Amino acid sequence: MVESPHSDVYGRTPGQPRAPGLSTQAPPGRKDPGSGYSTWAEEGFSGWAWFTGGLMGLVGLFQVITGIVALAGTGYYTVPARNLVVDAGYTTWGWVHLILGIVLLVTGGGLAFGNTVARVVGVALAALSALVNLAFIPAAPFAAPLIIGLDVFLIYAITVHGGEPKQAR
């Protein structure tokens, strides 16, 4: 029994010419099919950096809102200012929250773009924000623990995943 030679196209013998424009070669493209396009390595983009920057901006926005509320009217809070952990007026608390919020917003922008100084300042500001809100819990029993929780997660995200933009450069 004689075996006939195989062709790569069904119904065509090995000696028959190919149709014009057809080729058995793979189309041009990636050399390694498992090496998908990674925006992390090629572009210097890190999802964690943008996430921490956005989260720090959100915490800063919450601080700014808390500061504006404290400055706009002390009648909003039912607890007298003398019953807070730090005996200061609501005007003082308002300025502290407002300034802290603006600095957090600016640092969040630096974090989003992978600035190393912003990482260090971000951890310190998140810790300061948590302490300020810990002292402000009697006045804002819902908002202050929420911001403290965001601050703790922010410190985790910066310290554990903060080096990714640096590796991408």
Domain coordinates in residue numbering, the chain: 56-75+84-163
pLDDT band at 156 (very low <50, low <70, confident <90, very high): very high
Q: Residue 94 in contact with residue 70, Cβ under 8 Å?
A: yes
pLDDT band at 82 (very low <50, low <70, confident <90, very high): confident
21 Cβ contact list (under 8 Å, min separation 6): none
Rounded to the nearest 5 degrees, what angle is found at the Cα of 72, between the Cα atoms of 70 and 75?
A: 70
Give 76's DSSP letter. Answer: G
pTM: 0.69
pLDDT: is 25 or 133 the higher one?
A: 133
Task: State the alpha helices, DSSP H only, in the chain.
Answer: 39-43, 47-72, 90-112, 116-135, 143-161, 164-168
| Chain segment 101-117, per-residue pLDDT in tens | 999 999 999 998 888 89
Query: Comparing C-alpha atoms, which of 6, 23, 24 is closest to residue 15?
Result: 6
Q: Residue 68 in contact with residue 128, Cβ under 8 Å?
A: no
Burial class of residue 40 in the structure, from the number of CB atoms within 10 Å of its CB (0-12 exposed, 13-18 middle, 19+ buried):
middle
pLDDT band at 40 (very low <50, low <70, confident <90, very high): very low
pLDDT band at 76 (very low <50, low <70, confident <90, very high): confident
89 Cβ contact list (under 8 Å, min separation 6): 74, 81
- What are the Cα distances from residue 113, in Å, to 54, 58, 129, 166? 11, 16, 22, 10
Query: Comparing C-alpha atoms, which of 160, 165, 168 is closest to residue 123?
Result: 160
Q: What is the mean pLDDT of residues 40-44?
A: 48
Q: Which tokens go with 166?
A: 């640096």
Residue 49: what pLDDT?
83
